[in-house]
Copies of this chain bind each other. A is one copy, B any other.
Amino acid sequence: MLNQLALAIDIGGTKVETALVDDDGCIVADTRHRLPTGRDITPHDLGCALEVCFAASTARLGNAVIVGVGIGSAGPIDLAAGRILPKNLPLLHGFEVRAFVQDLIPDRPIELRLDGTCLALAEHWIGATRGTESSMSIVVSTGVGGGIMLDGRIVFGRSGNAGHIGQIHLDRSDDGTSDGGTLEGIASGLKSVDWAQRHGWTGQTGEDLGRSSAAGDATAIAAIHRSATAVGRAIANVATLLDLEAVAIGGGFFNVSPAYLNIVRNSARDHAIFDYSRDVSINSSGLASDGPLIGAAALIHRPHLIHHPRSITLATTR
Protein backbone atom coordinates (compact mmCIF):
# COMPACT_ATOMS: atom_id res chain seq x y z
CA MET A 1 0.00 0.00 0.00
CA LEU A 2 1.21 3.49 -0.79
CA ASN A 3 2.31 5.57 2.16
CA GLN A 4 -0.60 7.85 3.05
CA LEU A 5 0.47 11.33 4.11
CA ALA A 6 -1.29 14.47 5.25
CA LEU A 7 -0.13 17.86 4.09
CA ALA A 8 -0.01 20.03 7.21
CA ILE A 9 -0.09 23.83 7.05
CA ASP A 10 0.49 26.17 10.00
CA ILE A 11 -0.27 29.88 9.51
CA GLY A 12 1.16 31.92 12.35
CA GLY A 13 2.00 35.49 13.29
CA THR A 14 5.66 35.20 12.34
CA LYS A 15 5.75 32.34 9.80
CA VAL A 16 3.82 30.03 7.54
CA GLU A 17 4.99 26.44 7.51
CA THR A 18 4.12 23.25 5.63
CA ALA A 19 5.16 19.60 6.01
CA LEU A 20 4.12 16.08 5.12
CA VAL A 21 3.08 14.02 8.15
CA ASP A 22 2.52 10.28 8.25
CA ASP A 23 -0.21 8.30 9.97
CA ASP A 24 1.88 7.95 13.15
CA GLY A 25 2.27 11.70 13.53
CA CYS A 26 5.85 11.79 12.28
CA ILE A 27 6.99 14.66 10.07
CA VAL A 28 8.57 13.16 6.94
CA ALA A 29 12.26 14.06 6.70
CA ASP A 30 13.13 17.14 4.62
CA THR A 31 9.48 18.04 3.90
CA ARG A 32 9.20 20.89 6.41
CA HIS A 33 9.41 24.36 4.86
CA ARG A 34 8.67 27.85 6.17
CA LEU A 35 8.50 31.45 5.05
CA PRO A 36 8.02 34.57 7.19
CA THR A 37 4.63 36.27 7.65
CA GLY A 38 4.34 39.31 9.98
CA ARG A 39 1.86 42.18 10.46
CA ASP A 40 2.20 43.53 6.92
CA ILE A 41 1.60 40.32 4.97
CA THR A 42 -1.15 40.56 2.34
CA PRO A 43 -3.42 37.78 1.06
CA HIS A 44 -1.37 37.77 -2.19
CA ASP A 45 1.90 37.38 -0.28
CA LEU A 46 0.47 34.60 1.85
CA GLY A 47 -0.84 32.84 -1.25
CA CYS A 48 2.63 32.97 -2.85
CA ALA A 49 4.26 31.72 0.35
CA LEU A 50 1.79 28.84 0.57
CA GLU A 51 2.50 27.87 -3.06
CA VAL A 52 6.26 27.93 -2.54
CA CYS A 53 6.13 25.94 0.71
CA PHE A 54 3.63 23.51 -0.80
CA ALA A 55 5.88 22.88 -3.82
CA ALA A 56 8.91 22.38 -1.57
CA SER A 57 7.11 20.00 0.81
CA THR A 58 5.63 17.88 -1.98
CA ALA A 59 8.85 17.71 -4.01
CA ARG A 60 9.89 14.67 -1.99
CA LEU A 61 6.52 12.96 -2.11
CA GLY A 62 7.89 10.02 -4.16
CA ASN A 63 5.49 7.10 -4.21
CA ALA A 64 3.44 8.38 -1.29
CA VAL A 65 0.01 9.99 -1.68
CA ILE A 66 -1.49 13.01 -0.01
CA VAL A 67 -4.81 11.96 1.51
CA GLY A 68 -5.86 15.37 2.75
CA VAL A 69 -4.76 18.81 3.89
CA GLY A 70 -4.99 20.06 7.46
CA ILE A 71 -4.64 23.79 8.09
CA GLY A 72 -4.06 25.35 11.49
CA SER A 73 -4.27 29.12 11.65
CA ALA A 74 -3.72 31.89 14.15
CA GLY A 75 -7.15 33.10 15.26
CA PRO A 76 -9.80 34.14 15.14
CA ILE A 77 -11.04 32.00 12.26
CA ASP A 78 -14.45 31.58 10.63
CA LEU A 79 -14.89 27.83 10.49
CA ALA A 80 -18.12 27.72 8.48
CA ALA A 81 -16.78 30.05 5.76
CA GLY A 82 -13.23 28.69 5.74
CA ARG A 83 -11.83 32.17 6.33
CA ILE A 84 -9.23 33.51 8.73
CA LEU A 85 -9.17 36.79 10.69
CA PRO A 86 -5.92 36.58 12.65
CA LYS A 87 -5.53 39.17 15.42
CA ASN A 88 -1.89 39.84 14.52
CA LEU A 89 -2.18 39.62 10.70
CA PRO A 90 -4.71 42.38 10.03
CA LEU A 91 -4.38 42.44 6.23
CA LEU A 92 -5.38 38.79 6.03
CA HIS A 93 -8.79 39.37 7.61
CA GLY A 94 -11.34 37.59 5.46
CA PHE A 95 -8.78 35.56 3.47
CA GLU A 96 -10.54 32.41 2.26
CA VAL A 97 -7.73 30.02 2.97
CA ARG A 98 -9.79 26.85 2.62
CA ALA A 99 -10.90 27.75 -0.91
CA PHE A 100 -7.34 28.84 -1.81
CA VAL A 101 -5.87 25.52 -0.70
CA GLN A 102 -8.68 23.62 -2.41
CA ASP A 103 -7.64 25.24 -5.71
CA LEU A 104 -4.04 24.23 -5.06
CA ILE A 105 -4.92 20.61 -4.26
CA PRO A 106 -8.29 19.68 -5.74
CA ASP A 107 -10.21 16.54 -4.82
CA ARG A 108 -8.73 16.15 -1.36
CA PRO A 109 -10.43 16.78 1.98
CA ILE A 110 -9.31 20.09 3.47
CA GLU A 111 -9.83 20.85 7.17
CA LEU A 112 -9.23 24.27 8.71
CA ARG A 113 -9.02 24.78 12.47
CA LEU A 114 -7.56 27.20 14.97
CA ASP A 115 -3.82 26.61 15.58
CA GLY A 116 -4.62 26.08 19.27
CA THR A 117 -7.17 23.41 18.34
CA CYS A 118 -4.48 21.66 16.28
CA LEU A 119 -2.06 21.83 19.19
CA ALA A 120 -4.60 20.24 21.55
CA LEU A 121 -5.21 17.50 18.98
CA ALA A 122 -1.49 16.82 18.61
CA GLU A 123 -0.88 16.64 22.35
CA HIS A 124 -3.82 14.25 22.66
CA TRP A 125 -2.65 12.15 19.72
CA ILE A 126 1.02 11.64 20.55
CA GLY A 127 1.94 14.25 23.19
CA ALA A 128 1.59 15.20 26.84
CA THR A 129 -2.20 14.75 27.18
CA ARG A 130 -2.35 11.32 25.55
CA GLY A 131 -4.81 9.04 27.33
CA THR A 132 -6.75 11.86 28.97
CA GLU A 133 -10.34 12.89 28.22
CA SER A 134 -10.43 16.55 29.29
CA SER A 135 -7.40 18.72 28.70
CA MET A 136 -6.10 22.06 27.59
CA SER A 137 -2.92 22.73 25.60
CA ILE A 138 -1.31 26.17 25.89
CA VAL A 139 1.44 27.98 23.99
CA VAL A 140 3.29 30.87 25.61
CA SER A 141 5.28 32.55 22.90
CA THR A 142 5.12 36.00 21.28
CA GLY A 143 1.41 35.64 22.11
CA VAL A 144 -0.55 33.17 24.22
CA GLY A 145 -3.02 30.67 22.73
CA GLY A 146 -4.46 27.23 23.23
CA GLY A 147 -6.98 24.51 22.51
CA ILE A 148 -9.40 22.42 24.55
CA MET A 149 -10.50 18.80 24.62
CA LEU A 150 -13.49 17.84 26.78
CA ASP A 151 -15.07 14.48 27.49
CA GLY A 152 -12.96 12.91 24.73
CA ARG A 153 -13.69 15.42 21.99
CA ILE A 154 -12.04 18.54 20.64
CA VAL A 155 -14.03 21.67 21.38
CA PHE A 156 -14.70 24.05 18.49
CA GLY A 157 -17.39 26.46 19.70
CA ARG A 158 -19.76 28.29 17.38
CA SER A 159 -17.20 29.57 14.87
CA GLY A 160 -14.16 27.42 15.61
CA ASN A 161 -12.56 29.79 18.11
CA ALA A 162 -12.74 27.89 21.39
CA GLY A 163 -9.31 27.87 23.03
CA HIS A 164 -8.44 31.58 22.95
CA ILE A 165 -7.11 31.61 26.50
CA GLY A 166 -4.82 34.57 25.79
CA GLN A 167 -7.77 36.94 25.62
CA ILE A 168 -9.39 36.14 28.96
CA HIS A 169 -9.09 38.93 31.53
CA LEU A 170 -7.21 38.12 34.70
CA ASP A 171 -7.14 41.66 36.08
CA ARG A 172 -8.75 44.96 35.40
CA SER A 173 -6.97 46.77 32.59
CA ASP A 174 -4.64 49.30 34.13
CA ASP A 175 -2.60 50.54 31.20
CA GLY A 176 -5.24 51.78 28.76
CA THR A 177 -4.37 49.16 26.12
CA SER A 178 -7.02 46.88 24.63
CA ASP A 179 -5.32 43.78 25.99
CA GLY A 180 -4.41 45.22 29.39
CA GLY A 181 -5.30 42.71 32.07
CA THR A 182 -5.63 39.79 29.64
CA LEU A 183 -3.44 36.72 30.00
CA GLU A 184 -1.61 37.55 26.76
CA GLY A 185 -1.34 41.21 27.80
CA ILE A 186 0.38 40.14 31.00
CA ALA A 187 2.25 36.94 30.22
CA SER A 188 3.35 36.80 26.56
CA GLY A 189 7.04 36.94 25.70
CA LEU A 190 6.54 40.34 24.12
CA LYS A 191 4.77 41.81 27.14
CA SER A 192 7.24 40.25 29.57
CA VAL A 193 10.13 41.89 27.72
CA ASP A 194 8.20 45.21 27.76
CA TRP A 195 7.61 44.88 31.47
CA ALA A 196 11.26 44.10 32.25
CA GLN A 197 12.45 46.99 30.11
CA ARG A 198 10.10 49.36 31.92
CA HIS A 199 11.69 48.14 35.15
CA GLY A 200 15.23 48.91 34.03
CA TRP A 201 16.31 45.70 32.30
CA THR A 202 18.27 46.41 29.12
CA GLY A 203 17.90 43.24 27.00
CA GLN A 204 15.80 42.90 23.86
CA THR A 205 14.18 39.48 23.49
CA GLY A 206 12.57 36.66 25.44
CA GLU A 207 15.76 34.63 24.98
CA ASP A 208 17.76 37.53 26.47
CA LEU A 209 15.37 37.52 29.40
CA GLY A 210 16.03 33.80 29.92
CA ARG A 211 19.79 34.36 29.90
CA SER A 212 19.56 37.30 32.32
CA SER A 213 17.35 35.22 34.60
CA ALA A 214 19.84 32.34 34.55
CA ALA A 215 22.57 34.85 35.46
CA GLY A 216 20.56 35.96 38.51
CA ASP A 217 19.20 39.30 37.24
CA ALA A 218 16.38 40.14 39.69
CA THR A 219 14.25 42.02 37.16
CA ALA A 220 14.47 39.21 34.60
CA ILE A 221 13.59 36.66 37.26
CA ALA A 222 10.63 38.79 38.32
CA ALA A 223 9.42 39.16 34.72
CA ILE A 224 9.44 35.41 34.19
CA HIS A 225 7.78 34.83 37.57
CA ARG A 226 5.09 37.36 36.67
CA SER A 227 4.37 35.61 33.37
CA ALA A 228 4.29 32.08 34.80
CA THR A 229 2.13 33.15 37.75
CA ALA A 230 -0.44 34.64 35.38
CA VAL A 231 -0.47 31.45 33.29
CA GLY A 232 -1.03 29.45 36.48
CA ARG A 233 -3.94 31.70 37.48
CA ALA A 234 -5.50 31.23 34.05
CA ILE A 235 -5.08 27.46 34.32
CA ALA A 236 -6.74 27.48 37.76
CA ASN A 237 -9.69 29.34 36.23
CA VAL A 238 -10.05 26.98 33.29
CA ALA A 239 -9.54 23.86 35.39
CA THR A 240 -12.28 25.11 37.73
CA LEU A 241 -14.67 26.01 34.93
CA LEU A 242 -14.10 22.87 32.84
CA ASP A 243 -12.95 20.26 35.39
CA LEU A 244 -9.82 19.38 33.40
CA GLU A 245 -7.66 16.32 33.86
CA ALA A 246 -4.44 17.59 32.28
CA VAL A 247 -2.76 20.67 30.84
CA ALA A 248 0.15 20.67 28.38
CA ILE A 249 2.19 23.83 28.11
CA GLY A 250 4.90 24.82 25.68
CA GLY A 251 6.12 27.62 23.43
CA GLY A 252 9.22 29.73 23.01
CA PHE A 253 8.76 31.89 26.08
CA PHE A 254 7.76 28.92 28.25
CA ASN A 255 11.16 27.44 27.41
CA VAL A 256 13.26 30.47 28.39
CA SER A 257 13.57 29.26 31.97
CA PRO A 258 13.65 25.78 33.55
CA ALA A 259 11.83 27.33 36.54
CA TYR A 260 8.79 28.32 34.46
CA LEU A 261 6.83 25.07 34.80
CA ASN A 262 7.05 24.90 38.59
CA ILE A 263 5.97 28.51 38.98
CA VAL A 264 2.94 27.73 36.81
CA ARG A 265 2.15 24.65 38.88
CA ASN A 266 2.42 26.48 42.20
CA SER A 267 0.31 29.37 41.00
CA ALA A 268 -2.38 27.06 39.61
CA ARG A 269 -2.53 25.16 42.87
CA ASP A 270 -2.64 28.33 44.97
CA HIS A 271 -5.53 29.75 42.95
CA ALA A 272 -7.64 26.59 42.74
CA ILE A 273 -10.48 26.57 45.25
CA PHE A 274 -11.70 22.99 44.86
CA ASP A 275 -9.80 19.73 45.20
CA TYR A 276 -10.85 18.65 41.72
CA SER A 277 -9.28 21.72 40.13
CA ARG A 278 -6.18 21.55 42.33
CA ASP A 279 -5.57 18.02 41.05
CA VAL A 280 -5.11 19.01 37.40
CA SER A 281 -1.86 17.59 36.02
CA ILE A 282 0.31 20.27 34.37
CA ASN A 283 3.20 19.14 32.16
CA SER A 284 5.53 20.37 29.45
CA SER A 285 4.40 19.89 25.88
CA GLY A 286 5.60 16.61 24.44
CA LEU A 287 6.02 18.04 20.95
CA ALA A 288 8.18 21.17 21.08
CA SER A 289 7.48 23.36 18.07
CA ASP A 290 6.11 20.50 15.96
CA GLY A 291 2.73 20.53 17.72
CA PRO A 292 0.69 22.75 15.39
CA LEU A 293 1.86 20.90 12.23
CA ILE A 294 1.27 17.47 13.77
CA GLY A 295 -2.16 18.59 14.95
CA ALA A 296 -3.03 19.94 11.50
CA ALA A 297 -2.18 16.46 10.17
CA ALA A 298 -4.36 14.88 12.87
CA LEU A 299 -7.32 16.70 11.31
CA ILE A 300 -6.82 14.32 8.38
CA HIS A 301 -5.37 11.19 9.98
CA ARG A 302 -7.71 11.11 13.01
CA PRO A 303 -11.02 12.43 11.68
CA HIS A 304 -13.06 10.75 14.45
CA LEU A 305 -11.63 13.33 16.86
CA ILE A 306 -13.16 16.20 14.93
CA HIS A 307 -16.18 14.78 13.11
CA HIS A 308 -18.90 15.14 15.65
CA PRO A 309 -22.39 16.31 14.71
CA ARG A 310 -21.59 20.02 14.78
CA SER A 311 -18.68 19.77 12.36
CA ILE A 312 -20.63 17.49 10.05
CA THR A 313 -23.34 20.15 9.91
CA LEU A 314 -20.70 22.71 9.03
CA ALA A 315 -19.17 20.49 6.39
CA THR A 316 -22.43 20.32 4.48
CA THR A 317 -22.64 24.11 4.25
CA ARG A 318 -19.37 24.50 2.37
Complex contact B162–A242 (CB within 8 A): yes
Which residues in window 233-282 of A have CB below 8 A to B? 233, 236-238, 240-245, 271, 273-277
The verdict on A64 contacting chain B, using a C-beta distance below 8 Å, is no
Question: CB-CB < 8 A to A171: which residues of B?
Answer: 171-172
Total copies of this chain within the assembly:
2
Q: Is the interface on chain A under 10, 10 to 19, 20 to 34, or 35 or more residues? A: 35 or more
Q: Which residues from chain B contact A311 at a C-beta distance below 8 Å? A: 151
Asked if A206 CB lies within 8 Å of chain B CBs, one says: no
> Which of A178, A240, A244 has the most chain B CB atoms inside 10 A of its CB?
A240
Q: CA separation between A165 and B75, bound complex, in Å?
A: 25
* Given A153-B151, A241-B168, A271-B169, residue A159 in contact with residue B309 (CB < 8 A): no
Bound: A278/B2 CA distance, A: 47
CA distance A264 to B75 in the complex (A): 26
The one of B87, B160, B169, B309 that contacts A233, using a Cβ cutoff of 8 Å: B169
Do residues A151 and B156 form an inter-chain contact, with CB atoms below 8 A? yes
Cα–Cα, bound, A102→B226 (Å): 50
B161 touches A150 (CB 8 A): no
The reply to whether A244 and B164 contact each other, CB–CB distance below 8 Å, is: no
Q: Are B309 and A243 in contact (CB under 8 A)?
A: no
22 contacts between A and B (CB under 8 A): A75-B274, A85-B275, A87-B274, A133-B310, A148-B241, A148-B242, A150-B155, A151-B309, A151-B310, A152-B309, A155-B242, A156-B243, A158-B245, A161-B243, A161-B277, A162-B243, A163-B241, A164-B240, A164-B274, A164-B277, A169-B170, A169-B236
